[in-house]
Structure 1
Amino acid sequence: MKLLQIFYIFSLFLSVLSQSIQIASPTAGETVSPGQIMTVQLAFPNSLTGVEHVSVVVSMLECAAECPQNAADSLGKPLFAGNYTPEYHEGSKPPYQNFTVTVPEGSTADNGMLTVAHFMLLGASAQPILEYKNVTLTIAQTAAKRFIRGRMIM
């Protein structure tokens, strides 16, 4: 009986791993500027197990030097919060949805972590799953806006 429980938990764990949201765009290391409008493309692989997408939150966390590995502690500034309904667009890509967001103005950090929090119900039992994905972006500073000790210089 105990072996059956272990097998069930292991199979549930594998099914969750294989069904995970992906940040298709922007890619890690891509350079963005404060105030820039960018497209965030979120893809979700096709699945044999029933999945009901509830919502996503797309956010940006400014990082002074290096961004943290775990996004669950702080999402940063929310750029979008709402429904997630991925659809097929091209035959070679998994279902995806695009979101148009604006990089926060006034950023003084060199890096930013774009984080996606995805909430879904998985399987026939509607198991609630909350997952986090992130990519680290480079934030380009314009010459006109530089901050030293909290003061803006030109």
Structure 2
Amino acid sequence: MKSVLSLALLAVSAFAQNAAIGYPPQGLSVSPGSSLTVQVERPNTLSSTEEVAVVIGLQSCPGTPCIDPADFMGQILYNGPFNPQYQGPLGPPYQNFTVQIPSSIASGTALLGVAHVALIGAGFSPSLETLNRTITIS
């Protein structure tokens, strides 16, 4: 019984260290050349965490499967520091990034990828995670 509880706590602890895309919602339609707000959330963790960076990329994939951002980020829209903050009494800390959708991007399905880099734990071991959200270019 103790081992099951330990595994459950470990899984919850690992999940709590993950970032998430708060905005845009899945399937949002955006126009080429327009600005898009990308909200990256980072819930508090029980372990020490030092945020390093976020990279936001966009790949056009109309009519073909999109490639996982862990393998291909596409066109880089942002590459820089990440400093999530509480913006009110509800919700996790987050940071908004305003990015420009390339004016030359093809209409159809596109994949917004986020790479999040942090140092986690007492020894500050490196952590890299990738997130994605499918949007529509119209």
In the superposition, the TM-score normalised over structure 2's length comes to: 0.88
**Corresponding residue number in structure 2 for 1:93:** 91
1:61 paired with 2:56, answer no
SS of residue in 1 equivalent to 2:14: helix
- 8 A Cα contact 1:61 1:112, kept in partner: yes
Amino-acid identity (%): 38
Q: 2 CA distance for matches of 1:67 and 1:22?
A: 22
Residue 35 (structure 1) shift: 0.3
Q: 1 CA distance for matches of 2:65 and 2:49?
A: 31
In the superposition, the TM-score normalised over structure 1's length comes to: 0.79
Q: 1 CA distance for matches of 2:16 and 2:67?
A: 21
Runs of 4+ aligned structure 1 residues displaced above 6 Å come to none
Q: 1 CA distance for matches of 2:81 and 2:117?
A: 10
The aligned length equals 133
Residue 16 (structure 1) shift: 2.8
- 8 A Cα contact 1:67 1:111, kept in partner: no
Q: 2 CA distance for matches of 1:65 and 1:18?
A: 35
Q: Which runs of 5+ in 1 are unaligned?
A: 1-6, 141-154
**Corresponding residue number in structure 2 for 1:122:** 120
Q: 2 CA distance for matches of 1:67 and 1:129?
A: 27
Q: Which has the higher contact order (CA 8 A, sep 6+)?
A: 2
